[in-house]
Structures are given as structure tokens and as C-alpha cells.
Amino acid sequence: MIPKSLEALRYLRHFNVSVNELEGEISSGGCFSNFSAESFRQNHELCGVARLHVLPCRTKHSKSKRKGSYCSVYRGELNDGTDVAVKVFNTLTEEATKSFYAECKILSNIRHRNLTKILSCCSTTDFKALVLDYMPNGNLERWLYSQDCCLSMLQRLNIAIDIASALEYLHCGLTTPIVHCDMKPNNILLDEDMTAHLCDFGIAKIFEQDMHMAQTKTLATIGYMAPGKKPTDDMFGETMNLKCFVGESLRRKSLMEVLDSDLIRDVEQFSEVVQQFVSSIFCLGLECLKDCPEDRMSISNIVDSLRKAKIEYLAIRGKAEKVV
């Protein structure tokens, strides 16, 4: 949806959100009174006044299909030509306002190559936004589940190392640890070099010294071990989940059942050593998902293991390619 709060941008002269699959009502006040139909073309779920060539909006008593989201993200360009991402928060909801202040507090005090960088912020009564580095390659969700995108084994290892390094910094590299609380592919962004950056700290928690670890148990999203199948796949129910599915497949030595189909050809054309290596990566993932937190590997050990795995994989591939 297009946030109504954008009406408050008095100096906004040019606006184009065409071909974006947007929905909801186009505001008619403020700067929006100057925009033409060209600004909104090919957004078939938008509604508004007739001059914008969109459907008329339903009456106010009709129910909306989906609830007002916390924020919308736009691509912008600064005067010097720098591309930026502008995250505009829906100031009509208390949750969005809390999310804005949480991100400001956390992002302004952390620095790491694998975390999104805040460039500036804007906060008034009616308008709240963050200006962030623009990530041209989008989010990891798109690369894992889109038919148009494919990641190589090496790219996946690099992304895993990047995000593990970001978590190691948040958990161990700060005086006061930070718990992200919403780890999922949508919140991992990729820059022009395919370097991964962890984003969206709207529900993150600063772990004060007097807080007990049990307080974080209710904060997390459903666990992910993408790719392959999503944890919300229809095949998973009360007796089967993604972790059990992977564990059982590895015990039966049925690697291809759990491997992303985009990688099967890449793995099959090399020796059994490569397949054993891939199995070890899945085992590392399972180590991170043990039911008891005390039994899981520390994040520092995970980073070390992934870096060693990358070196091992490069050596295996190098030998295999020489044979070919």
C-alpha cells in the first residue's frame, strides 16, 4: 500500500510507482493532487479518483482483504546519484512506530559489513522513515524460491558465512548483546557483489545483563533451514517438521531428497566426496537446531566451521575440475 503519510512531503514533485503490484487507496491530498495516472499505471489493485485511471475505492464499511502493514520500502536516488532504500513506516499503527524507534536505536549503534547501514532518518508526528543502503540483488527469499534465480553452492556458503558473522557480532561483539528475533530469508539482503546483509531490527531485543535467556524463547519466527522445502510446507504437521525430514533423509543417506533441485546437477557431476561434503553442511545445520539451546554450537564455532567448509569445498572442486 502507498502510505497516506507521504502527503506530508511538501517538496515532492516527481513520483512513479508504476508496475509494482501495489494495492489500496491512492491518497488525493497534499502532493498527490499533482500526480497523474502515469505515476500509478499497472497496479491493478489500486483504487482512487477517476482521473488516475484506477478502480473506484469501495465504501468505508467494506472489509479490507488484508491488514495495514508496518512499513513500505521504496528505491530512491540522492542528488549525487547514490541509490538508497527508503523505509517509510505506517504512523497510524503503534506497532510500526515502536518498530521505527527500535531500528533507530539499534542501527545507529552497530557497525558491521554484514548488517544494513542506516544513512539517515526522518521523524515527525505524521512521517517516519529510514534511509538505508540500497541492495540491488534483493532478498534471499527471491533467490531461494524464484524460478528465475539460482545460487551456486559457493554463493550459498558465502551467504551462510556472512549471516553467521553478523550474528556473531550481535551476540558476542557488543558490550550489550542484541537478539534479532526475526531470522528468515526475507530479512537477508544481497548487494551488487552478492554479499549478504542482515536487515529489519524492528522486533530485535537488546539483551540487558539482568535478562534471563528464557525471555527470548517467545520472540522467534518459525525456524528456517532453506533451501529445499519451507518450514511451512503442507507436508509438515504435528509428527513431521523440516528438521526431522532432513535428519531422517540423512540417516537413510538420501541426500537428493533434501537437496535444492537447483544444486542436484552441480553435485551429481562431481565425486562422492562432494556429496559427503554437502551432507556435512546439512549436519551442521541440524547441530544449530537442536531442541535444547545448551546443546547447540556456539555462534563463533559455527562461523569457524563454515569458513573451514568453504576452504574444503574449494579444494574439492579444484581437484575435481582438474580431473575433468
Q: Are residues 155 and 289 in the same domain?
A: yes
The residue that leads in pLDDT, 53 or 112, is 112
* Same domain, yes or no: 181 and 291: yes
Which CATH number belongs to the domain containing residue 230 in this structure?
1.10.510.10
- Provide the number of structural domains found in the chain: 2
In a domain, 47, yes or no: yes
Q: 140-194: per-residue pLDDT in tens?
A: 998 988 777 788 889 999 999 999 999 999 999 999 999 998 888 999 999 999 9
Question: Mean pLDDT for the chain?
Answer: 83
Q: Which of 64, 92, 112 is the last residue of a domain?
A: 64
pLDDT at residue 236, as a whole number: 62
Catalytic center residues = 182
In this structure, of 193-197, 203-207, 293-297, 310-314, the range with the lowest mean pLDDT score is 203-207
Annotate 249-280 with b (16+ C-beta within 10 A) or e (fewer): bbeeeebeebbbebbeebbeebeeebbebbbe
Phi and psi dihedrals of 214, rounded to 5?
Answer: -60, -25
pLDDT over 60 (residue 218): no
Residue 147's DSSP bridge partners are none
- Cα(113)–Cα(32) distance, integer angstroms: 38
**Pick from 51, 91, 14, 9: nearest CA to 26:** 51
Question: Is 0.75 topped by the overall pTM?
Answer: no
- Does 272 lie in the same domain as 183? yes
Q: 234: pLDDT confidence band, cut at 50, 70 and 90?
A: low
pLDDT for res 230: 61
Residue 75 lies in a domain: no
Q: Report if residue 109 sits inside a domain.
A: no
Instruction: Provide the CA 135 distance to its chain's centre, in angstroms.
Output: 11
pLDDT in tens, 242-292: 788 888 888 888 887 888 877 776 666 656 777 788 889 999 999 988 888
All three cell numbers of 103, joined, read 531500528
Residue 169 forms part of a structural domain: yes
Q: Within 13 Å, how many C-alpha atoms sit on residue 216's CB side? A: 17
Query: Considering 46, 64, 82, which residue would you say is the last residue of a domain?
Result: 64
- Regarding whether 297 and 195 lie in a shared domain, the answer is yes
Side-chain-facing half-sphere of 27: CA atoms under 13 Å: 15
The residue range of the domain holding 281 is 140-323
Is residue 281, in this structure, part of any structural domain at all? yes
Whether residue 95 is contained in a domain is answered as no
d(CA 40, CA 44): 9
> Who contacts 115 (Cβ-Cβ below 8 Å, separation ≥6)?
107, 166, 169, 170, 197, 198, 199
pLDDT for 214: 43
Same domain, 145 and 286: yes
pLDDT one-digit tens code per residue, 38-96:
899 888 788 888 788 887 776 543 333 333 767 889 999 999 999 999 999 988 888 88
> Does one domain contain both 38 and 144?
no
CB 185 within 8 A of CB 144: yes
Cα–Cα distances in angstroms (integers) from residue 77 to residues 83, 86, 145, 279, 289, in the given order = 5, 10, 29, 44, 41
Helix, strand or coil for residue 73?
strand
**138 pLDDT more than 70:** yes
Is the bond preceding 227 in cis, omega lying within 30 degrees of 0?
yes
Cα dist. 94→14, 88, 121, 270 in Å? 30, 14, 18, 54
Kind plus residue range of the DSSP H or E element containing 141? helix 140-145
Looking at residue 145, its pLDDT comes to 81
Do residues 266 and 155 share a domain?
A: yes
Model pLDDT, residue 322: 66
Same domain (yes/no): 152, 268? yes
Domain boundary among 64, 80, 100: 64
Specify if 272 maps to a domain: yes
Whether residue 276 is contained in a domain is answered as yes
